[in-house]
Amino acid sequence: MQQIINSMMKMMNQMEMTCDPDIDFANMMIMHHEMGIKMADLELQYGHEPEALELAEKTKIGNMESKVRLEALLASHPGAEPLSKEECKMFMMEMREDMMAMMHCMRSVMDTPDPDVDFAQLMICHHEGALAMSNTELKWGDDEMALEEAEMIIEEQAQEIMELAAFLNEHGIPTKHHNM
């Protein structure tokens, strides 16, 4: 899991920002969804609890569908419409803070001997990052498709956070740690 997290962080840090909130949101969220799909695939491969496997499948499908919509948005977008220099600095600072908070949360999760618990804990952090980036898009963006996608992400992933938290509350967190 840690390799997936490190890989995504590297890709997001290397992404060339346009200062067009809609384009940057779509590109960032596509990378974000790719990471979510990889995390779900690991859970589907190593997990054992039916409820966690179902959540992983739901996450994977939702990320794949959103990724397709975001790719269509980018294909239909007429080109970058950058913010002013000052607005760009503020927007980029917010997006960077969103990413850093997510990465900090994910890195603070302790590995356990239970891949289902690890998946649930990490996916909560991952979804919280998506909520933050989507809220930043709602604040700065103006493309109707991008704004609608941000709203859908917020609705779907907030629900999944509640389901993941319920899974953790029901199953507990093992105390013996290991590296995955």
Tell me the pLDDT tens digit for each residue of 39-55. 999 999 999 999 999 99
pLDDT of residue 169: 93
- Residue 177, pLDDT > 70, answer no
Closest to 151 (Cα-Cα) out of 141, 161, 162: 141
Mind listing the pLDDT tens digit for each residue in 101-150?
998 999 888 888 899 999 999 999 999 999 999 999 999 999 999 999 99
Q: Report the pLDDT value the prediction gives residue 64, as an integer from 0 to 100.
A: 98
Among the listed residues 94, 35, 91, 111, the one whose alpha carbon sits nearest the alpha carbon of residue 66: 35
DSSP structure class, residue 173: -
Distance CA 98, CA 102 (A): 6
- 179 pLDDT more than 50: no
Closest CA to 117 of 160, 33, 174, 157: 174
- The superfamily CATH assigns to domain 20-75+83-169 is Ferritin, core subunit, four-helix bundle (1.20.1260.10)
Over 90: is that where the pLDDT of 165 sits? yes
**Mean pLDDT in residue range 63-68:** 98
pLDDT of residue 11: 72
Residue 55 neighbours by CB under 8 Å, 6+ apart: 43, 119, 120, 123, 160, 163, 164, 167
pLDDT beyond 60 at 180: no
